[in-house]
Amino acid sequence: MSSLDASAAAKTESRNANRAMLAEFWFYFSQNRGAVIGLFVFLTLVLIALFAPLVAPHDPNFQYRDNFLTPPFWQEGGNISFLLGTDAVGRDILSRLIFGARFSLFIGVVVVTIALSGGVVLGLIAGYFRGWVDTTIMRVMDVILAFPSLLLALVLVAVLGPGLVNAMIAIAVVLQPHFVRLTRAAVLSERNRDYVVAARLAGAGNLRLMFKTILPNCLAPLIVQATLSFSNAILDAAALGFLGMGAQPPTPEWGTMLAEAREFILRAWWVVTFPGLAILITVLAINLVGDGLRDALDPKLKRS
C-alpha cells in the first residue's frame, strides 16, 4: 500500500470514529426527553432571531399613536394586529420580543466566547506551569469569586459606563473564573498521564502539549459549563438591563423592556408578563440542554 492510501485510510478511520462518538453522544442525549425539548425550543429561538425581520409583524420601534397599552387580542379591547398587545408608547410587544431574541442570544454567544476562551487559556497556563503563575492566577480568580456576581458586574458597568457592550464585558469577567477553575482541575488530572508524557518525549512543545494534547481531553466539563454560563449570561444581562445598567431604551432587550414596563404593572399586566416569560423560556430551554449534555458527557452517570 502506498503512503497516500494509508493516510487516506487513517482519515476515513478517524472520520468513522468521530461519527461513532457523535452517534453515542446522541444516543445518551436523546434518552433525556427534557433535553430534546429544550434543544428544539432553543433551535426555534435561533431561527426566530435569525429571521426576525421576516417573522415580526411590525417594526419593533414604531410607535402606533392610536394604540397605547392595547391588551392582547383575546382580551376585551384587544386588536388582532397586535397579538400580545402594545406598550405604553404604542409599540407592538410581540415584534419587540422577536427582535429581543436576537439580543439575548447574541449576549449569550459573546459572553460565553469571551469567558470560555479567556478562562481556558488562563486555566491551561495555571494547570500546566504550576508554581507562582498558578498561584497568582488562582488568587485573582478567588478575588473575583469573593463578590456576588451580579454586584461585581454592576460595579464594573458603573466603571465602564452603562450599555450593552460593557454589560457583556462585565458579565464575561464575572463568569470567567468558573472556566479557569474547571480547566485547571482537568489539566492537573491529565498532565501526568502516559499519553502526555509520550507526546512530550516525542518532542511536542509546550503550546502543542497544552492545546492539542491536553485540552481536547478536558472538553466535556467545559461544554457543560459553557451551556450553564450561556443561560447565566442571558439572566444577568437582563437583570442589568432591568436595573438600567445594560442595554439602553429603546433597545428591545427583554430586561430593558421589563424596566420600562415596571410602572404599569398594576394597570397593564401584559407589558410585564411577556418579556419575563420570554427570558424564562429561553433560559429554561438552555438549562434543559445543559442537563442533557451533562448526563450524556459524564461517564460516571452513564454507567448508572
Partner 1 sequence: MFRFLFSRIGLLIPTFLGVTIISFGFIRLLPGDPVLLLAGERGISDERYAELMDQFGFSRPIWEQYFDYLVGLLNGDLGTSIVTKKPVLTEFMTLFPATVELALCAIVIAVALGIPAGIIAAVRRGSFTDQTIMGTALVGYSMPIFWWGLLLIILFSGILQWTPVSGRISLLYFFPQTTGFMLIDSLLSGQPGAFKSAVSHLILPSIVLATIPLAVIARQTRSAMLEVLGEDYVRTARAKGLSSSRVIGLHALRNALIPVITTIGLQVGVLLAGAILTETIFSWPGIGKWMVDSIARRDYPVVQGGLLMIAAIVMIVNLIVDVLYGLVNPRIRHT
288 in contact with partner 1 (CB under 8 A): yes
Among 8, 151, 165, 207, contact with partner 1 (rule: CB under 8 A): 151
Q: Which CB sits closer to partner 1, 131 or 161? A: 161
Among 90, 244, 250, 298, contact with partner 1 (rule: CB under 8 A): 244
Instruction: Judge contact between 177 and 118, C-beta under 8 A.
Output: no
78 in contact with partner 1 (CB under 8 A): no
Site residues for partner 1, window 112-141 (CB under 8 A)?
139-140
CB of residue 140 to partner 1, shortest distance in Å: 7
Site residues for partner 1, window 245-284 (CB under 8 A)?
245, 255, 258, 262, 265-266, 269, 272-273, 275-276, 279-280, 283-284
42 in contact with partner 1 (CB under 8 A): no
CB of residue 285 to partner 1, shortest distance in Å: 9
Q: Which CB sits closer to partner 1, 64 or 147? A: 147
Q: Which CB sits closer to partner 1, 60 or 275? A: 275
**Residue 177: partners with Cβ closer than 8 Å, 6 or more residues away:** 119, 141, 142, 144, 145
Full 3-state SS string of 36-76 = HHHHHHHHHHHHHHHCHHHHCCCCCCCCCCCCCCCCCCCCC
CB of residue 152 to partner 1, shortest distance in Å: 8
Q: Which CB sits closer to partner 1, 13 or 263? A: 263
Q: How far is CA 3 from the centre of its chain?
A: 44
Go through 237-273 and write b for each residue having 16 or more CB atoms within 10 A of its CB, e for each that does not.
Answer: bbbbbbbebbbeeebbbbbbbbbbbeeeeeebebbbb
165 in contact with partner 1 (CB under 8 A): no
Could you give the 3-state DSSP secondary structure of residue 78? coil
For 82, list phi and psi in degrees, rounded to 5.
Answer: -115, 85
**Residue 288: partners with Cβ closer than 8 Å, 6 or more residues away:** 34, 35, 37, 38, 39, 41
235 in contact with partner 1 (CB under 8 A): yes
Could you give the 3-state DSSP secondary structure of residue 170? helix
**Binding span for partner 1 by CB under 8 A among 68-76, 84-92, 153-161, 179-187:** 153-161
Helix %, strand %, coil % of the chain (to 5): 75, 0, 20
Interface with partner 1 by CB under 8 A: which residues?
A: 34, 139-140, 142-143, 146-152, 154-155, 158-159, 161, 231, 235, 238-239, 242-245, 255, 258, 262, 265-266, 269, 272-273, 275-276, 279-280, 283-284, 287-288, 291, 304
